[in-house]
Structure 1
Amino acid sequence: MSMKKTEGGVTAAKGFLAASTAAGIKKNGSMDMAMIYSEVPCVAAGTFTTNVVKAAPVKWDRKIVYDYPTAQAIVCNSGIANACTGTEGYNYCEKTAQAAGECLNIEKYSVLVASTGVIGQQLPMGKLEAGVRAMATKLDNSLVAGTAAAEAIMTTDTRKKEIAVSVEIGGKEVVIGGMCKGSGMIHPNMCTMLSFVTTDAAIDKDLLQQALSSSVRDTYNMVSVDGDTSTNDTVLLLANGLAQNEKIVEKGEDYEKFLEALNEVNTYLAKCIAGDGEGATALFEVKIIGAKSKEQAAVLSKSVVTSNLTKAAIYGHDANWGRILCAMGYSGAQFDPEKVDLFFESTAGRIQIIENGVALDYSEEEATKILSEEVVTAVADIKMGDCMATAWGCDLTYDYVKINADYRS
């Protein structure tokens, strides 16, 4: 059995349950808390924001992931980020974990917590603890429960983001499922980006962390909506071993299969975040090919995908290639602009815009048609080697400003 996409999200893997509730944290009364629980303890891995201003949940989760052997539950709230909240905010993380631990009959240090929403406000702990108690009684392993949890962690997201894949490892079916949220303040450096991934694979904790750190570099860290690295960025990966494959304890064929499936999940979720950027009408993909190193390609692709002028041109369906070459030029990566070939492609077709740094006699009408699709790709060949990288972002629209001007109200 090769890797295949399967139904569901965080409850697709064996032994994982989920629940959600409306705890009253959001002013509009919508679902605003989610819980993920494993029937048995898991090894945990995590990657976190590189922003010096780190939200309280990031500090709590780093402690659990780095200092404790196992974790068994995740509690997430939306509406308030619990960032810039001092000692009180950190204590609220511990209180949330304590409440969940009591309800689930597990140690508080096996409960991971996450928050997303407005920075600088304290959590209403009465509502949060009541929400934890309500969810503990509703935990369910159904795919529906997983989907509801994915919906409960949304803020300015316009749609839920979840996926699951299965792969055969050591003769056993291993499932990896995940959910994430993220729409604005997205420029991960491990936005407000939260991703929770669950798997029933049996794997060593250190190898799980290595797999996640490796995967994050090529997936979430290649996404940018607006250039703002959030205070709350968190990716958590829990593995409970219930697939009963022979435990992965070294890098080899089994590890590579696991990593490939994990990349599939994380790439899909990363692209969901980019395509659902605040106010976006298009997912904008930038591929740099012909690079001398992957690092060079990554720097160039991210520079283009974060260029506001390029993003505005994509919104206007305008093949303004000069902005792309300009963004490559200030990226810090060295290349010869007089060797660059540039193409635009989408489901409407493919067109070459420049060859060796000079514009071709292309049809503006054809280019506009290609740039009018929901997924648009720019491919730049810099003819220096055989390495490549892909970054994902979105167009920049009037609605991005509207959403962020009115965010707190």
Structure 2
Amino acid sequence: MAAAAPISPLAPKSVPDVAPIDGVRFASGEAAIRYKGRTDVTLVLFDEGTTVAGVLTKSKCPSAPVDWCRSMLPGGKARALVVNSGNANAFTGRVGAAAVQRTADLAVAALGIDEGSVFLASTGVIGEPLDASRFEGVLERLAGEATQDGIVAAARAIMTTDTFPKLATAEAMIDGIPVRLNGIAKGAGMIAPDMATMLSFLFTDAPIAAPALQAMLVEAVDHSFNAITVDSDTSTSDTLLIFATGAARSRGVHPIDTATDPRLDDFKAALRTVTLDLAQQVVRDGEGARKFVEVRVTGADTDAAAKVVAASIANSPLVKTAVAGEDANWGRVVMAVGKAGERAERDRLAIWFGDIRVAVDGLRDPTYDEAAVSTYMRGDTIAIRADLGLGEGRFTMWTCDLTKGYIEINGDYRS
């Protein structure tokens, strides 16, 4: 196995102080699935009455755990989550399905819960069978070790090529009473989610029914996890789950059944904050990344058209390598807009790097200053804006630069 990469220079300066949530307990341990000398399995336990919702990869080659979660989500109830790193249990056929079933059986035996309340997720190498016997004894031991304050360890245990654990937290008011929302995520490569990131798990003590959770989660994902890309590749294993223990009922919060309930307004804002925070942390940990890039498209015919154009810019290897080389090569942005397939008119297009307009009306800006834009490109956060001059459509995506480090990490991934 290749040596661990140094922590991304774009990583947050500190891990957030994440207060525990009643009804959620964590334990992490070593199952030696692929990594030696580090934790690679996390068990999360939920009190009875916990509801669950989720969104999963749109890949036509989903992993066995994704199939499992997809079959369990309609039940809307959760008591346990088992996550392993090092092996995605994807493209493993009947052997993979059997490994998922065996893992669930071990969780049921260790915890005395119903199979339908067990959720599973795996991340790592694709195509290698997962030996579920590695979990024998481990899940039972972890069940006895689980504590409310184990979320940071859980975030570390689900890492693969990540260089730092990803956590976010927010507070919201419901019925005038504070409720908490915490989240963890993992992801650094194979990131163009089309649903969520590779793996992300959210936890709240709010008493919210599964259908309401589902509606809010889908909405939050559209402008967070579905608005990031590292390398344009959608994972087989993308899984985003949210668990609501309902423990805030004991503090006077009344249950909520529908996403349209006005009491959820503050919670929806907190959910958007946490999902966007986690999604941007994934980009900041992009494999080999040295620059965090915001791509904002305005003036498109529709928001949907703006998203297509933004994705074309954010996924362009030529744009991303220009950013890596600190070159404000706006011609590559023109290229990406033109190839996107949405309506664009050359002579209405304007482009900015930061606050510096570099092109307008189909030409280089008459006030273009190479020295000023070169200075801007040396920063570690770059904003690219393209205005199509056609309508009111707008969308923002986040990506990172493309460096030699990305090639090195992925060239050595299975070595």
CA distance in 2, matches of 1:237, 1:94: 22
Match of 1:51 in 2: 59
1:65 aligns with 2:73: yes
User: Could you list the runs of 4 or more consecutive aligned residues of structure 1 that deviate by over 6 angstroms after TM superposition?
Assistant: none
Question: In structure 1, what is the Cα distance between the partners aligned to 2:120 and 2:222?
Answer: 23
Amino acid at match of 1:407: Y
CA deviation vs aligned residue, 1:304-355 (integer Å, no higher than 9, x gap) = 000000000010010000111111111121122221221112xxxx311112
The one-letter code matched in structure 2 to 1:77 is: N
2: CA distance, partners of 1:104 / 1:29: 26
Q: Does 1:298 align with 2:307?
A: yes
Describe the SS at the equivalent of 1:407. coil
Alpha-carbon distance in structure 1 between the residues aligned to 2:263 and 2:307: 27
Q: Which residue is 1:37 aligned to?
A: 45
1:130 is aligned to 137
Between the aligned partners of 1:129 and 1:210, the Cα distance in structure 2 is 36
The answer to whether the Cα contact below 8 Å between 1:33 and 1:153 also exists between their aligned partners in 2 is yes
Structure 2 residue runs of 5 or longer lacking an equivalent are: 1-14
* Corresponding position: 1:277 with 2:275: no
Q: Is 276-285 or 33-42 further displaced after alignment?
A: 33-42
Q: Quick check: 1:327 aligned with 2:322?
A: no
* Partners of 1:20 and 1:32 within 8 A in 2: yes
Counterpart amino acid of 1:84? F
TM superposition shift of 1:247: 2.0
How far apart in 1 are the matches of 2:396 and 2:94? 40
Write the distance in 2 (CA, Å) between the matches of 1:170 and 1:119.
46
Q: Which residue in 2 is equivalent to 1:401?
A: 407
Counterpart code for 1:357: G
* Residue among 170, 177, 189 paired with 2:182: 177
TM superposition shift of 1:374: 2.0
Between 1:381-390 and 1:306-315, the stretch displaced more is: 381-390
Which 10-residue stretch deviates more, 209-218 or 152-161?
209-218
- Matches for 1:44-123 after TM superposition, within 5 Å: 44-66=52-74, 68-123=75-130
**Residue 28 of structure 1: how far off its partner (Å):** 3.1
Q: Is the 8 A contact 1:49 1:234 kept in 2?
A: yes
> Offset at 1:234?
0.7
Structure 1 residue 318 corresponds to structure 2 residue 323: no
Gap runs ≥5 in structure 1? 1-5
Contact 2:49–2:246 (CA under 8 A) maintained in structure 1: no
Cα distance between partner residues in 1 of 2:303 and 2:196? 23
Q: Tell me: CA distance 1:41–1:318, structure 2 relative to 1, closer, same or farther (3 Å).
A: same
Q: Does 1:19 align with 2:24?
A: no
For residue 221 of structure 1, give the secondary structure of its aligned residue in structure 2.
Answer: helix
How many residue pairs are counted as aligned between the two chains?
Answer: 396
Which of 252, 262, 274 aligns to 2:271? It is 262
TM-score by length of 2: 0.91
Partners of 2:50 and 2:243 within 8 A in 1: yes
> How far apart are 1:191 and its partner, in Å?
7.6
Per-residue displacement from partner, 1:347-398 (whole Å, max 9, x unpaired)? xxx3111122321242222212222222211112223333321111110000
Task: Report the counterpart of residue 3 of structure 1 in structure 2.
Answer: none
Q: CA-to-partner distance for each residue in 1:267-315, whole Å, 9 max, x for gaps?
A: 1111111111111111111011233321111111111000000000010
Question: 1: CA distance between counterparts of 2:161 and 2:169?
Answer: 23
Write the distance in 1 (CA, Å) between the matches of 2:34 and 2:20: 28
CA distance in structure 1 between the aligned counterparts of 2:325 and 2:411, rounded to whole angstroms: 22
Q: State the SS of the aligned residue for 1:243.
A: helix
1:339 is matched by which residue type in structure 2? Answer: R
Q: Aligned with 1:120: secondary structure? A: coil
Which residue of structure 1 lines up, in the alignment, with residue 7 of structure 2? Answer: none
Structure 1 equivalent of residue 231 of structure 2: 226
Kindly provide the amino acid, as one letter, of the partner of residue 79 in structure 1: G
Look up the match of 2:210.
205
Q: Which amino acid aligns with 2:22?
A: K
Query: Given that residues 54 and 232 in structure 1 are in contact (C-alpha distance below 8 angstroms), is that contact kept between their aligned partners in structure 2?
Result: yes
> Could you tell me which of 164, 170, 180 is aligned with 1:165?
170
Shift of 1:192: 6.8
1:214 is aligned to 219
- Secondary structure of 1:71's counterpart equals coil
| 1:208 partner amino acid | L
Cα separation, 2, equivalents of 1:129 and 1:287: 49
Shift of 1:133: 2.2
Which residue does the alignment assign to 1:388? 394
CA contact (8 A) 2:90 2:236 kept: yes
Q: CA deviation at 1:127?
A: 1.7
Which residue matches 1:375? 381
Contact between 2:352 and 2:359, CA under 8 Å: does it hold in 1? yes
Distance 1:69 1:220 in 2: 22
Amino acid at match of 1:132: L
Deviation larger for 36-45 or 112-121:
36-45
Q: Secondary structure at the match of 1:51?
A: coil
Specify the code of the residue in structure 1 equivalent to 2:83. C
Q: Distance in 1 between matches of 2:176 and 2:364?
A: 54
Counterpart secondary structure, 1:137: helix
Counterparts in 2 of 1:372 and 1:14: CA distance versus 1, 3 Å: farther
Contact map agreement 2:100 2:132 (CA 8 A) in 1: no
Moved more, 248-257 or 275-284: 248-257
Q: Deviation of residue 7 (structure 1)?
A: 4.8
Change over 3 Å in CA distance of 1:192–1:79 after alignment to 2: farther
Give the fraction of aligned pairs with identical amino acids, expressed as a percent. 37
Q: What one-letter code is carried by the residue in structure 1 that aligns with 2:194? A: N
What RMSD over aligned residues (CA atoms) do the two structures have, in Å?
A: 1.7
AA of the residue aligned to 2:388: I
